[in-house]
Structure 1
Amino acid sequence: MTSKYSRGVLLCVIAAASWGGMFPVMTGALKHIDPFTFTCLRYTIAGVAFLALLLTLEGKSALNLKGERVGLAWFLGTSGFAGFQFLVFLGQKLVGPDGALIASIMMVLQPLLGFLTNWVVRKVAPPRGAFVFIAMSLVGVLLVITNGHLGVLVQRPQAYGADGLIILGALCWVIYTMGGSFYPNWSPVKYTTVTTGLGLTSTYVITAALLAFGAVKMPTGHDVVTILPHLAYMSIAAGVIGVLFWNLGNKAIGPLNGVLFMDVVPITAFTISAFQGNRPGAMQLIGALISAIALVLNNMYLRRRQASLAGPAKPAAEAAKPVAEAAKPAAAAGAVAR
């Protein structure tokens, strides 16, 4: 294993672990502040950090958006930063004590949601075998949500709302990560910085409206001071460092390898939650394992399919193109940034 590959693996592990930690961290933060105001604070800090980084690396010219699709960038930023944050963490809060566990394992669905989104947007159908792993991963998620008591799905339909919000939030991040392909000339830092800034406009407007109409309560000064450690972690560790390390790690080892490290997200969340006293049930652990296995098997399936298509009758690059197109959104969706 080369030093470059080893470094890439380490960066991906650190990034995924930081994202796994954000769900238990939010468990504490959500006791003192709503997810909407928290998102405004979090991405104001992260946005300033990304802006400073972009100006350092690429200069002021990187902020010139003349001729670029600014409206699309705004939509993608709104989806990734307002949509993901608002929906996932509101859903986590509504679920209750198990919210961190359920939200973290649902993030493993993102690569598979990427296949389906790519199918709708780009008309690129997933390989048939991928549907097996999509179904397998869904079974694992259902076991986590119900702790093995599948009858709860019928007996407690009111729980659909919170779980649905988390899945919609995960889909928002899939849309955001896929949107990067519409800006091939932008660096990852520029795409993140610009979409963060544009997405913050929506975040501020939505939050201001909710506060004005009394849908959420304005946090007190004490509340803000209380969540400062949570805010620091979510802004710097899970936000700036997590995203940068993930992008650098995937560049070194390739996105098809990088997506496997999404398994680290629920493992980290389950471990931290256990130390906080929220121990997952046996069936929840089994469900998480099933979803993780589905992710690994899907990766292996794509590799074998790519190898089988790359026969002597076709150039390897041409033969692998359909698989690469199908795998691209799944790998991108693994970036739970956030």
Structure 2
Amino acid sequence: MHPTTQGIGFVLLAVMAWGAQFPIAAGAMQHIDSTGINLFRYGLSSLVLVGSMVWSHGTARLHQGLRLPAIWWVGTIGMAGSSTLMFLGIRFTRPEIAVLVLSLQPAMTAIAEWVMFRKRPAFVTLVCMLVAFGGLAWAVTRGGDLFTHGSNEAAQELLGCTLVVFGAAAWVFYTLGSAKLKAWSPLEITAMTCLTAMPLLIAVWLLSLSLGWALIPSPAAWPEVSWRLAFLSLVGVLAAMWCWNLGTVRLGTLNAILMLHFMPVITFVVRAAEGAALRRTEIVGASLVIAALVANNLWLRYQNQFRA
């Protein structure tokens, strides 16, 4: 099989897994709270990833990573912070809105680089960013109807969206921070950041438990919850990241990110299959977001070819 075809297959599997994880997580939250989901999700992933890392490289690399402050910052803020905020946000907003926010991470990264490194995006990129954020606002507010029908619902929706935005910003921090760990392989970075995320995830779960907010599944609910937790851990974290890395190597970053922009489509399809009523304003807003992101990706591709 041609490497490009393999790359498309790997990236498509990753996009499908990530697109499905928010609806699956939302279903699990009927029986278990977001802090418990994250604790299980990254606890299991840490065991598998760190075990693979030690098996491949021995314990010396593990000890070296645990002494590196950058690993702790990226793992705590980027990995633990992003997952905590994102999954908490899903409790207050809709999965299809959460995935639209996440799809704007490339735009958030461009803004962060502009602020931090004075790297101003091109005019076309700025226009695409404005259209994408406008599409998100249109979907979140249901074309403005949310503000005219019930202040409580609007406040809850905006709270959830805000939490997901901060979670996405934390993941941008993870992306920028992990890019500086050039001496570490993708497996090592993923394993070490999952491991260093655990103290904060444990602390948040214990705090939630002490305040009476933690929701522990009943014995009757475990058959329903277990497959969702297994998907979020084994497929959403381990398999998806493995497929993404393999696909990116074969396709290149720009091509892989182009396919990633269609992740909201997967989420919308899953939600429709679950019987959720998708509003026209949400579909229009999502279409604007996807179109703007794809247009910017094609512009960047043209710029790279022009420079070459």
| TM-score w.r.t. length of structure 1 | 0.84
Q: Please tell me whether the aligned partners of residues 77 and 174 of structure 2 are also in contact (alpha carbons under 8 angstroms).
A: yes
**C-alpha separation between the residues in 2 aligned to 1:56 and 1:3?**
31
DSSP 3-state at the match of 1:174? helix
CA shift, 1:191, in A, is 0.3
CA shift, 1:6, in A, is 1.3
**C-alpha separation between the residues in 2 aligned to 1:240 and 1:152?**
40
Q: Could you give the per-residue CA deviations for residues 107-155 of structure 1, whole angstroms, max 9, x where no partner exists? A: 1111111101122233322222211011010111122212223562897
DSSP 3-state at the match of 1:135? helix
**C-alpha separation between the residues in 2 aligned to 1:122 and 1:105?**
26
Partner of 1:191: 189
Instruction: Confirm or deny that 1:55 pairs with 2:54.
Output: yes
Partner of 2:260: 262
CA shift, 1:15, in A, is 0.2
Q: Unaligned stretches of 5+ in structure 2? A: none
Q: Unaligned stretches of 5+ in structure 1? A: 311-315, 317-338
CA shift, 1:232, in A, is 0.4
Q: Please tell me whether the aligned partners of residues 21 and 232 of structure 2 are also in contact (alpha carbons under 8 angstroms).
A: yes
Instruction: Confirm or deny that 1:161 pairs with 2:156.
Output: no
Q: Please tell me whether the aligned partners of residues 31 and 215 of structure 2 are also in contact (alpha carbons under 8 angstroms).
A: no
Instruction: Confirm or deny that 1:22 pairs with 2:21.
Output: yes
Partner of 1:148: 143
Q: Could you give the per-residue CA deviations for residues 286-321 of structure 1, whole angstroms, max 9, x where no partner exists? A: 21111111111101211223344x2xxxxx5xxxxx
Q: Please tell me whether the aligned partners of residues 41 and 233 of structure 2 are also in contact (alpha carbons under 8 angstroms).
A: yes
**C-alpha separation between the residues in 2 aligned to 1:245 and 1:217?**
32
2:48 partner amino acid: A
Q: Please tell me whether the aligned partners of residues 25 and 228 of structure 2 are also in contact (alpha carbons under 8 angstroms).
A: yes
CA shift, 1:81, in A, is 2.8
| TM-score w.r.t. length of structure 2 | 0.92
Partner of 1:182: 180
Partner of 1:103: 98
Q: Please tell me whether the aligned partners of residues 21 and 268 of structure 1 are also in contact (alpha carbons under 8 angstroms).
A: yes
Partner of 1:211: 209
Q: Which one is further off, 283-292 or 219-228?
A: 219-228
Partner of 2:3: 4
Q: Which one is further off, 100-109 or 150-159?
A: 150-159
Q: Please tell me whether the aligned partners of residues 262 and 290 of structure 2 are also in contact (alpha carbons under 8 angstroms).
A: no
**C-alpha separation between the residues in 2 aligned to 1:189 and 1:11?**
17
**C-alpha separation between the residues in 2 aligned to 1:191 and 1:115?**
22
Q: 1:150 to 1:138 in 2, by over 3 A?
A: farther
Q: Could you give the per-residue CA deviations for residues 10-57 of structure 1, whole angstroms, max 9, x where no partner exists? A: 111100110001011012101011101110011111111111222233
Partner of 2:121: 126
2:175 partner amino acid: T
Matches within 5 A, 1:23-38: 23-38=22-37
**Matched residue count:** 305
Q: Identity of counterpart residues, as a percentage?
A: 26
**C-alpha separation between the residues in 1 aligned to 2:67 and 2:114?**
23
**C-alpha separation between the residues in 1 aligned to 2:114 and 2:222?**
43
**After the TM superposition, which segments of 4 or more aligned residues of structure 1 sit over 4 Å from their partners?**
217-225
**C-alpha separation between the residues in 2 aligned to 1:72 and 1:220?**
39
DSSP 3-state at the match of 1:94? coil
1:78 partner amino acid: T
